[in-house]
Amino acid sequence: MNFNVRKIVINSAFIGMATGFGGLTIGGVSTASAQDAQTAPPAGVYKLDPTHANLTWTVKHNTISNYTARFGKLEATLSLDPAKIEASKIEVTIDPTSVDVPYPADYKATHAKSPYATWPEEISKDPKKLNSDAFPKITFTSTSVKKTGDKTAEILGNLTFLGVTKPVTLNATLNGSIDSHPFAGVPAIGFAAEGTFDRTAFGQPVGYVGKDVTIRFDGEFIQDPAASPSK
């Protein structure tokens, strides 16, 4: 997998508020109350809830199919200022060794000469793929945020992958926010993200997969009271 920077679209909880999912019940908790509690998120520092986060990437394989995998471990911190969205910041760190993809065949039988034990391990460690031994993390750090609508913003930032840093433009859109998380008891916000990168800009060879990698993210952020201003 190679990330080359083009554009990413993030459906973010940075601005405004969104509606919920009616009376759906998850884990014994009705979302009807969460829907009623929808509110503009207060300023503060928000941490990604890793148990409610999903990041996938899709790449064209042999020019005939879309191949999808996911990262299971990532961290993110959002510093949110709804009154002055330009002052907001986000930082994301991805663990490339957490890449996961189904491989129902016998990997060693079909890759007899491979030094790796599994297909996910090859994707993670192969120098022509994620090269995680040499580059143990992938990061994105925003450099500026510009409000573009009631629920949207343009985010400029730097993506660092395989030791190369490139500027990325993100388009952010709110998913939703609640004043009190049903378990944490503090404000929470959520967003979905989608974008496309040209992986060859980071030095990856084209090989048998396409240049463009599409990233899709869904996640919830919970306010960190210790790092957020008191009401």
* DSSP states of 121-154: HHHHH-TTTT-TTT---EEEEEEEEEE-SSSEEE
pLDDT for residue 39: 65
Query: Which of the 8 DSSP states describes residue 229?
Result: -
Residues in the chain, pLDDT under 50:
1-32, 36
pLDDT at 146: 86
pLDDT at res. 94: 97
**pLDDT value, residue 128:** 94
| pTM, 2 dp | 0.81
Query: Which CATH class name applies to 5-95+137-227?
Result: mainly beta
Q: Output the CA–CA distances (angstroms, integers) from residue 136 to 97, 124, 133, 169, in the order listed.
A: 7, 9, 6, 24
Q: Looking at residue 217, what is its pLDDT?
A: 85
Residue 86, burial from CB neighbour count under 10 angstroms (0-12, 13-18, 19+):
exposed
What pLDDT, on the 0 to 100 scale, is given for residue 162? 97
